[in-house]
Amino acid sequence: MAADVLSSFCEVHIYEKGKTAGRKFLVAGNGGFNITNSATGDELLNKFLPNGFLRKAISSFDSDATRNWLLEMGIPTYVGSSGRVFPAVGIKPIEVLQKIKEKLAQQKVLFHFEQEFISFNSENSPVFKNNENETAPKADYYIFSLGGASWSVTGSNETWRNEFDKIGIKTIPFQSSNCGVNVEWTEEFKSKYAGTPLKNISISINDFTIKGEALITHYGLEGNAVYPIIAEVRKMISKNLTPIIQIDFKPANSIIQLKNKLSGENIPTKNYKTVFNLNEVQLALVKQFTSKEIFIQPESFISSIKNLPVPITSLRPIEESISTVGGIALDELNEDFSLKKFPNIIFIGEMLDWDAPTGGYLLQGCFSTAHYAATSILNS
């Protein structure tokens, strides 16, 4: 994106660690190529943390702009479930990447492959290594997009942080985001229900609630109702607090509506499944995290299916996470994502310490930061 904006006005060289461009971009195509989200305005802006950090970047190049950019390259899009935006049916991720690469080639962008950033020289220019040869290309501006630390199979890692530390730029260790959470299941529960989905639920933590689905795994929970709560879980863990999520198995029903099913009298526990329209795994979960006394009393049982407390022990490791937080500390940056100490060095994408949920927002954040940084160069 940055190369596309700049290459109509100046010479652009892309130094790429891998043998080809866009391996991590293609990862987004696993299970459906969700390339942005149809949300705009405050609905879009509020998905990004910390609040306000990406406001100008997102506002200047939002999801509508991304869709128009793709359409200009011959890639129409459509809005799917939950506002997720996909390339038109039949267009594969590799085809989208190829269109982008062809556009850059037409604009004379030059790629240099198998060039890994390894350090800075005495003039604070980046040094790249190819086999045994090193090179330090001279440029007016250097834009880094080294990514976060997830998906190491694509070449991602955080070794680059050391090189910025050496030139006095503060970096923050990466942590998991958009990942599963560890829960201490009993062995019996784990053996019976690992791999079972929990559909049409909501999960709350503190003042945040998200509706969706979760998957019970051998280690805990994952899924689209779990990923959006990770920022709050991570915050509590950092304060040495035990995060406790609240699962609502009946978000469409109030406690009063559920109590009305009691018909004014107690019902035996064997009838809970039918009376409250619960499945086996939901009942097993309530048993896992409540006492016998709570379970056998219909009114307290109702409170449990509306607000079941589940303690989280930890987050899954970075290697399993969809994205990460951490990287370049935000207080090192000017508004245009350039370094205060070295204004000709600029950062975009996931190597900056921002966060967003899945659903197209991560790629949109990358597109927006790149476009804003490149446009800022042209306006300087």
The tens digit of pLDDT for each residue in 294-349 reads 999 998 999 999 999 999 999 999 999 999 999 999 999 999 999 999 999 999 99
- Determine the pLDDT at residue 32: 76
Q: Are residues 259 and 353 in the same domain?
A: no
- Structural domain ending residue among the three candidates 296, 315, 334: 315
List % helix, strand, coil for the chain (3-state, nearest 5). Answer: 40, 25, 40
pLDDT band at 287 (very low <50, low <70, confident <90, very high): very high
- Determine the pLDDT at residue 262: 82
Tokens representing 272?
Answer: 């809970």
- Which region, left, alpha or beta, applies to residue 249 given φ > 0 means left and ψ of -120 to 50 means alpha? alpha
What distance separates the 2 farthest-apart alpha carbons in the chain? 82
Q: Are residues 244 and 105 in the same domain?
A: no
Number of domains in the chain: 2
Q: For residue 2, what are the CA distances in angstroms to 234, 324, 362, 377?
A: 31, 22, 16, 10
pLDDT band at 264 (very low <50, low <70, confident <90, very high): low
Q: Are 315 and 233 in contact (CB under 8 A)?
A: yes
Q: Are residues 326 and 308 in the same domain?
A: no
Q: Are residues 147 and 191 in the same domain?
A: no
Domain coverage including residue 222: 181-315
Q: Nearest CA to 68 among 95, 44, 36, 98?
A: 36
Q: Are residues 192 and 250 in the same domain?
A: yes
Tokens representing 341?
Answer: 């100490």
Contacts of residue 177, Cβ cutoff 8 Å, sequence gap at least 6: 227, 230, 231, 234, 321, 322, 323, 324, 325, 355
Q: Are residues 354 and 248 in the same domain?
A: no
Which amino acid does the sequence have at 42?
D
Q: Are 350 and 324 in contact (CB under 8 A)?
A: yes
Q: Nearest CA to 86 among 58, 67, 62, 64?
A: 67
- Determine the pLDDT at residue 132: 85
In percent, how much of the chain has pLDDT > 90? 88
According to DSSP, residue 313 is labeled -
Q: Are residues 39 and 165 in the same domain?
A: yes
Distance CA 296, CA 292 (A): 6
Q: Are residues 111 and 223 in the same domain?
A: no
Q: Are residues 257 and 275 in the same domain?
A: yes
> In 3-state terms, what secondary structure has residue 229?
helix
